[in-house]
Structure 1
Amino acid sequence: MTDRLITHLRHVDLAVPDYDRQRDFYTALWGLTPVAEDDGIVFLAAEGSPEQYVVRLRKDAEKRLDLIAYGAATPADVDTLAGRLATAGVRLVNEPGTLQTAGGGYGFRFFDVDGRTIEVSADVATRQHRAIEERESIPVRLSHVVLNSPDIPRTQAFYEQHLGFALSDTLVHPYAGELMKFLRCNAQHHSLAIAKGPHVSLHHVSFELRGVDEYLRGTGRLLRAGTRLIWGPGRHLAGDNTFSYFLDPHGNTVEYTTELALVDEDTWQPSDHDVSQISVQDQWGTANPFDDQLVKESFNDVDRGLFVAPPV
């Protein structure tokens, strides 16, 4: 899509009942840095990223995905996208305007076809960041987010038609059919993936580390701290990235990864990858089998925030 207006993934915002426990996990263990905090809300940055923050935690009585935020190049692009969505009948949460969150900027929010709140913004102030050093096992940046949907084709069509995402690859099973669609909004193999699930929910959020050594050191640090590793370490075929999947204190799956493939968007042709072939799930052969129990855990809890905009 030549007129794609989305440029990249900015941040993922979560609401959590046990705010203090979640905050401690994402800072002391996961390796994110608090950059702004108010009563019951904290903005967490990745040291290697110019984004003001990559995760926002908000205290709430119910666990939910508050929103997913994407970047646009200019305020004019924000206005253009908002106009297109409104014309197409997409429900806007608010019209474009000045953002009141960390870093400011100009943006708007809307509901996707499944009821998730999506934000698109431009002119957000960049953060002073730094190069992550050798053996420093903290996230460089936010890599991608994966969503559960009971209707993959419908969700995929929304993001392709309205936001300009393109299909990179598909995971399939001989009996279960299509299980996951990998979608991109830039040269990164995927910034978004849509997984087959029984209900709308968050599948996982992934964070990029500096390299394989740092990724393994981070995996080990979490293991030594007693954090439950549900799958990994291994290396996927689709995207060619490493993976270690953990559960945060509220049961959200979070991933350490590195070396996610970059594609030539002018020449890339999507492929179907059969997950019944073990090397598709894990090229290295080091990860535990992805069994029925892991599948159920990846479904997560039903998202209670659908078609309900977060208060902040």
Structure 2
Amino acid sequence: MEIDAPAATAAADVHQGLHSELGALRGEHPGRARNPVLKAVGLGWLEFVKPDLDRAERFARDFGFVVHERTPDRLSLRGTFSALPCLVVRRGHAARFVGPTFLAESVADVRRLARSASANVLPLGGGRAVHLTDPSGFPVRVVAGLEPPAALAEREPLALNLGTEPVRFNTPQRAPRAPAQVQRLGHVVLETTRFRRTLEWYLHTLGLIVSDFLYLDDLRDRGPTMAFLRCDLGSVPADHHTLAMHLGPRVGYVHSAYQVTDLDAVAAGGEHLADQGYRRVWGIGRHIQGSQIFDYWRDPDRMMVEHYADGDLFDSSLEPGWAPMSASGLAQWGPPVSRDFLGSTPGPGMVAALLKALGDRTNEIDQDTLKALAKAMSA
């Protein structure tokens, strides 16, 4: 679904000085559906399968999660905020991402979504859920009626002496070199070979709206190739993105991000992870889209996870920003982006994925797209 938008020119600020230097060109995607089935109010949790739950728990504690429940075959992890446990890890033969669970405002919304999708409403804890599959093949659960646990104690953000308004006197600053204390789940990022169909599904089915689009500079006429989507909470500000997804030769999990209280939590938490022998993927830096201070790590199963702080919050009035996709456009400051983060390390798996994607005529991958993606990731 597309609508006309003002043409972008160098002489006029087409985005009204909001969050992006560029807006849509005439006829480009508006970034939202006119009549979505429902409007999801948040990302509840993510589900993974891992072969060694003891190892998964050790990393989780070092990363800053709190164990909510543990059985021989299931590990549930939470943050300090009063929110549902943000990760569920089940025992299985090989590590893999299963899918996300989104939160609906009411059980009535879940029932309406089930009717629209010809799916069943199922009991889940004290609530109700519907199980769907997006066009990329990811299982997506939508749930309502669950009660979050009470908040946990955590340290307050450090008081900062800023410019002409100092607030800290006769007190030195000492950030603890310890796990970062995850507050909550922020977002998940997915890669798909069917970007356009999957984007439309999340806009229509869950009522997500786009904060920013990225496009391939040589192929903008084909439309965007990455979208940062937030929940539409009306006048209430929401995270810049709850779900992000981009076009690529593979279908799968890219990373998930977890909020901590401030920059010192990101940095000191990272020092603790390094002390424990874990590997940093990229960071510390500050993103452009979303503005988060970030730090990326690999867990023992090579799943990528992010600590972040100070992310953007948008209400529903902001229209999508548009920017060319490039490696250098991922951060305002920080070290150069790593090949590990970009997923561009050569290897048999990458070659096999490229050949499989090119051989599938039902997806959006062709030689021109792959060349443009390679150019963007080297820019």
Write out per-residue CA displacement over residues 19-71 of structure 1, whole angstroms, 9 at most, x where no aligned residue: 221121112x11111122222111111122x2231001111012222221111
Partner of 1:80: 112
Q: For the Cα contact (< 8 Å) 1:230–1:294, is it kept in 2? A: no
The answer to which of 169-178 and 255-264 deviates more is 169-178
Equivalent residue for 2:244?
193
Work out the CA distance in 1 between the residues paired with 2:57 and 2:256: 16
* Contact 1:15 1:59 survives alignment (8 Å): yes
Match of 2:306 in 1: 255
- Give the aligned partner of residue 47 of structure 1: 80
Structure-2-length-normalised TM-score? 0.70
Q: Return the match for 1:180 from 203, 226, 239.
A: 226
Over 3 Å counting, the alpha-carbon distance change for 1:249 and 1:80 in structure 2 is same
Map 1:163-178 → 2, pairs under 5 A: 163-175=206-218, 178=224
Quick one: percent identity of the two aligned structures? 27
Aligned counterparts of 1:37 and 1:291: Cα–Cα separation in 2: 35
Residue deviations 1:226-264 (CA, integer Å, cap 9, x gap):
211111111111111111111111111100111110113
Q: Over residues 197-230 of structure 1, what are the superposed CA-to-partner deviations in whole Å (9 max), with x where a residue is unaligned?
A: 2121101010001112212211222122221111
Does the 8 Å contact 2:217/2:324 carry over to 1?
yes
Task: Decide which moves more: 124-133 or 157-166.
Answer: 124-133
Between stretches 70-79 and 3-12, larger displacement belongs to 3-12
- Pairing partner for 1:7 from 20, 33, 41: 41
- How far the C-alpha of 1:296 sits from its partner, in A, is 3.0
CA contact (8 A) 2:84 2:148 kept: yes
Q: Distance in 1 between matches of 2:314 and 2:134?
A: 26
User: Given the alignment of the two structures, is residue 121 of structure 1 paired with residue 143 of structure 2, yes or no?
Assistant: yes
Deviates more, 1:61-70 or 1:1-10: 1-10
SS across alignment from 1:283: strand
Residue 271 in structure 1 maps to residue 303 in structure 2:
no
Task: Write out per-residue CA displacement over residues 127-178 of structure 1, whole angstroms, 9 at most, x where no aligned residue.
Answer: 0113531357211100000011012112111111211111110233435765
Distance in 2 between residues matched to 1:292 and 1:259, nearest whole Å = 24
SS at match of 1:57: strand
Which consecutive unaligned segments of at least 5 residues does structure 2 have?
Answer: 1-33, 157-174, 233-237, 354-379
> In the alignment, which of 215, 218, 239 is matched to residue 290 of structure 2?
239
Q: Which moved more, 1:201-210 or 1:61-70?
A: 61-70
Moved more, 112-121 or 202-211: 112-121
Q: What CA distance in whole angstroms lies between the structure 1 residues aligned with 2:35 and 2:132? A: 23
> Between Structure 1 and Structure 2, which shows a larger proportion of strand residues?
1
| RMSD across aligned positions (CA) | 2.4
Stretches of 4+ moved more than 6 A in 1?
Answer: 299-302
Equivalent position to 1:283, from 332, 341, 361? 332
Q: What does residue 110 of structure 1 align with?
A: 132
Contact 2:55 / 2:300 at 8 angstroms: preserved in 1? Answer: yes
Question: Does the CA-based 8 Å contact 1:105-1:123 persist in structure 2?
Answer: yes
- Are 1:98 and 2:123 an aligned pair? yes
Counterpart pick for 1:161 among 185, 196, 204: 204
Secondary structure of 2:150's partner? coil
The whole-number CA distance in structure 2 between the counterparts of 1:46 and 1:214 is: 14
CA distance in 1, matches of 2:325, 2:275: 30
Distance, in Å, in 1 between the alignment partners of 2:212 and 2:203 is: 14
Q: Distance between the aligned counterparts of 1:6 and 1:161, measured in 2?
A: 11
- CA radius of gyration, larger in: 2
In 2, the alpha carbon distance for the partners of 1:293 and 1:128 equals: 35
| C-alpha distance in 2 between matches for 1:288 and 1:21 | 30
Letter aligned with residue 212 of structure 1: L
Consecutive unaligned residues in structure 1, runs of 5 or more: 87-91, 303-312
User: Is 1:35 equivalent to 2:68 in the alignment?
Assistant: yes
The count of aligned residue pairs is 286
Contact 2:231 2:242 in 1 (8 A): yes
Aligned to 2:102: 70
